[in-house]
Every structure is written in C-alpha cells, then in structure tokens.
C-alpha cells in the first residue's frame, strides 16, 4: 500500500516524499480513508506508530479542498493535554502542510496570550490547543466555534486524568452539533469510552494493536531496590551500562529536582521538565536534550506524551506512575517508528500495587533482574499474571546490608 493509493493530493504526496515517508503505518492506512470520508473515528494504536499523520494528513486535504476560514474562526480544532504535545502536533501540521495555503497555530498557557490573539484575528484553519488556554481565548471573544468542521481529541484519557473534564464539557457545549469528531490515543480507558459514546456519531473503531499493549520492540524489565538507594543505583547503571541519552520519569516535581541535583553533583549533564517550570524553560530543556547537550532529561508525567525524540534508546521509570496507563505512554518515548529501545523500572517494595496495576493493564509480568550490591533489604512482593500481589513484603538482610549495619554499631 502507498500514500497515493489512500487518495491523498499531490502537494501532500510530495511533502511525504521529502520527509521519507514511504509506506503508511497500519493506523494511517485505516484512518486516512475514514477521515477523508467524513467518518467519526475512535482509533487506538501504540505510541510511535504515526497517529498524528493519521488525522493531520486527511484533515489538511479536506481543508484545502473546501472553502476559507472567517476572521476569529477555526475550522479544525485539536485538543491535547500538555504543552509539549501541543507543540509536537502543531509542528506536524506545519510540516505536512508546508505546500498548502493554510494557516495553523498553537495555543497553551504559560506563555503570553497576545501572539495567540493576534493569530486568531485573521482566522485559523487549524488550531492546536490545551483546554484551559482555549477557554481563556473563548472567554475574551478571540475565537468563534461556529465554523468548526472537525474536533480532534488527542490523548483524551490524559486530559481527564489531569482534571480537564469541566473545561471539555464547556468546549463541547459551544461547538456545532454537526461536526466530525476524532479520538486518537494509545490507551482508551472506560471513562474515555463513555465519553466517546456521547460525542461520536456512528464512529468507526480502529485498533491496530491489542488494547493497552506495549510496543514489542521495547525491552522491559525491573530492578528491585530500596527507595533510598534509587539515585545511587541510577548513577551506577548510567555508568556501568554505558547508557547514552536517557529519559527518566519521576513521580513528583520535588523528586525531579532532588534527582537532578544528585546527577549534577555527580558530574552528569542533566536537565529537567515539570509543571513548575515555565514553558520557555521546558522548551529549552527539551531542545538541549534533543541536541545531545545533556545526557539525562528528568521529567514528571508532563513529558510522558508529546515528546518525540529521534532514536531515544533508554527510558527509566525512577518511580512507577500512579496511573497505570501512563506506563505505556512513558515507555513509548523509546522504540518509536520501528526502532528498538529499553525501558527499565527501579522498583521498591511500596510500589508493588502500582506494579500490579501496570501488569494487569498490559497483561504481562515484568521480568525482575537483581543488580549486584543493590539488592533490596525490603523485598518487593511477588506478583502473578493479571496483576495480583501474591506475597507480602519481607525484610531480608543481604550480606552488604549486614556489613553496613555492623559498621554502624562499631562506630557508635
């Protein structure tokens, strides 16, 4: 199958050729004809499989072939949960539409609103936005929704996780009832499926891989250890395994800063992304990482979706996520577009319930590999297929731990 056989117009085909896109991915092959036909769509596919092109390409074609946008209006509205994902999706629309006479822009919080107001005055064919900033613009009468032909929800499950449900309800109520609605994500939870039932009309459902599955090209395992030794273990792994660039996920903003400080003390080139950072700081940290100016990027789950980094070899879960679906999105930052990658989780005893939730969701049991000299004193309980915890935590005094305890008693 080729992009030509999917019915795309010549300017798009020439752009895809320049970008070296030779063959549609499975999700693109199924989604592009459906979007061109005006169908509502609910598409689930693993991260890194080309979902953005699956909706951006046909929407750009439809916009090119049908009319012009009015001032302060929008024809295609794409809602995303994070600033980073907003930038990535906007960049995709710009690249794919580089040979088309269309206007697109991105709007999110944390940056001045004036440039966004200015762009909206002439009208936009495509607006990529986070829900909060979109409502700010709507509240200032800067954007009208009466011309919206298509609404895209990208990673809608994450928007609900982040508490955007009220904002989404306001946006949905303001949009025209007659429109095309597209939902794209790597995971579809029960609340999202309920939302889809309310928003979509006779939708086509696409699942090109088992629901909530992880990418097979990503090698996954866990290293049991004690929580207090995680920073030491990470630095040990970084050096002993000669890791190149590493994206590290930490549960809290405070935890991100603590690990970042430890890495810098050890002479590791590192930077960080989390919700307390300004958007310019977050973009600068990401740019430094992409340019290989830093080896390690430490982040909260704001980076679990929307970071598209070429050939990223390594993802580390310094902490397991509190929402199991985020595990899939985290490790999806590596192994993209058919490449291989590794995802390592540093696992302590009090995370066993989080581990069980991840294993239940992904229908797998993570292989555990002990790291010499870092064996956990508080053993991580065993889990079984389906995510059940089958054994209570036990404190085991390893030889190294016994030696440390003996030294403490001696020096008292």
* Domains present along the chain, CATH in parentheses: 4-207 (3.40.50.300), 218-406 (3.40.50.300)
- The count of C-alpha atoms lying within 13 angstroms of the C-alpha of 260, restricted to the half-sphere facing its C-beta, is 20
Q: How far is residue 317's CA from residue 326's CA, in Å, rounded to a whole number? A: 11
Written as six digits, the tokens of 156 are 């809608």
Specify whether the CB–CB gap between 335 and 311 falls below 8 A. no
CA-to-CA dists, residue 206 to 44, 182, 209, 334, angstroms = 6, 11, 9, 23
Q: Under DSSP, is residue 381 helix (H, G, I), strand (E, B) or coil?
A: coil
Confidence category of residue 408, pLDDT binned at 50, 70, 90: very low
Of 249 and 165, the one with more pLDDT: 249
Percent share of the chain, pLDDT over 70: 87
SS3 273: strand
Beta-carbon contacts of 400 under 8 Å, excluding residues fewer than 6 positions away, are 373, 375
pLDDT of residue 340: 73
Q: Would the pLDDT of 404 be above 80?
A: no
CA–CA separation, 310 vs 157, rounded Å?
25
Note the helical H segments in 304-375: 325-331, 352-362
The token pair that represents 48 in the structure block = 């890194």
Instruction: Compute the distance between CA of residue 166 and CA of residue 370 in angstroms, rounded to an integer.
Output: 45
pLDDT in tens, 342-391: 999 999 999 999 999 999 888 888 999 999 999 988 888 888 766 677 76
The answer to whether 249 and 321 are in contact (CB under 8 A) is yes
Pair of tokens at residue 164? 């955007």
Tracing tokens 């999806």 back to the chain, one arrives at 332
What mean pLDDT, rounded, does the chain reach?
A: 86
- Residue 156, burial from CB neighbour count under 10 angstroms (0-12, 13-18, 19+): buried
pLDDT tens digits for range 136-183: 999 999 999 999 999 999 887 777 766 778 888 899 999 999 999 999
> Is residue 23's pLDDT more than 80?
yes
Please state which of the ranges 53-67, 185-199, 359-373, 397-411 shows the lowest mean pLDDT.
Answer: 397-411
């Amino acid at each position: 199958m080729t992009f030509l056989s999917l019915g795309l117009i010549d300017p798009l085909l020439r752009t895809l050729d320049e970008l070296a896109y030779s063959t549609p991915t499975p999700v693109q092959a199924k989604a592009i004809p459906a979007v061109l036909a005006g169908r509502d769509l609910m598409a689930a596919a693993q991260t890194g499989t080309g979902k953005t092109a699956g909706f951006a390409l046909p929407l750009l074609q439809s916009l090119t072939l049908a009319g012009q946008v009015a001032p302060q209006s929008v024809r295609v509205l794409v809602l995303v949960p994070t600033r980073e994902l907003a930038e990535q999706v906007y960049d995709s629309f710009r690249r794919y539409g580089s040979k088309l006479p269309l206007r697109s822009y991105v709007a999110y919080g944390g940056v001045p609103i004036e440039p966004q107001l200015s762009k909206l005055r002439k009208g936009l064919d495509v607006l990529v936005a986070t829900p909060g900033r979109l409502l700010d613009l709507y509240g200032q009468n800067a954007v009208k929704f009466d011309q919206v032909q298509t609404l895209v929800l990208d990673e809608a499950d994450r928007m609900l996780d982040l508490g955007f449900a009220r904002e989404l309800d306001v946006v949905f109520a303001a949009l025209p009832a007659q429109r095309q609605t597209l939902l794209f994500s790597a995971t579809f939870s029960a609340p999202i499926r309920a939302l889809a039932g309310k928003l979509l009309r006779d939708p086509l459902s696409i699942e090109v891989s088992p629901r909530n599955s992880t990418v097979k090209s990503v090698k996954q395992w866990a290293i049991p250890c004690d929580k207090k030794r995680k920073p030491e273990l990470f630095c040990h792994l970084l050096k002993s395994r000669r890791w190149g660039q590493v994206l590290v996920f930490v549960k809290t903003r405070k935890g991100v800063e603590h690990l970042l400080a430890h890495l810098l003390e050890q002479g590791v080139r590192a930077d960080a992304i989390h919700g307390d950072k300004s958007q310019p700081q977050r973009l600068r940290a990401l740019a430094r990482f992409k340019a290989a100016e830093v080896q390690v990027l430490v982040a909260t789950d704001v980076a679990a979706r929307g970071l598209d980094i070429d050939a990223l070899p390594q993802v580390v879960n310094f902490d397991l996520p509190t929402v199991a679906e985020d595990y899939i999105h985290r490790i999806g930052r590596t192994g993209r577009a058919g490449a291989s990658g590794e995802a390592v989780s540093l696992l302590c005893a009090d995370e066993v319930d989080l581990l069980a939730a991840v294993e239940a969701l992904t229908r797998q049991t993570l292989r555990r590999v002990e790291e010499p000299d870092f064996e956990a004193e508080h053993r991580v309980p065993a889990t079984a297929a389906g995510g059940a915890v089958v054994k209570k935590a036990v404190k085991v005094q390893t030889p190294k731990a016994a030696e440390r305890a003996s030294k403490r008693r001696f020096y008292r």
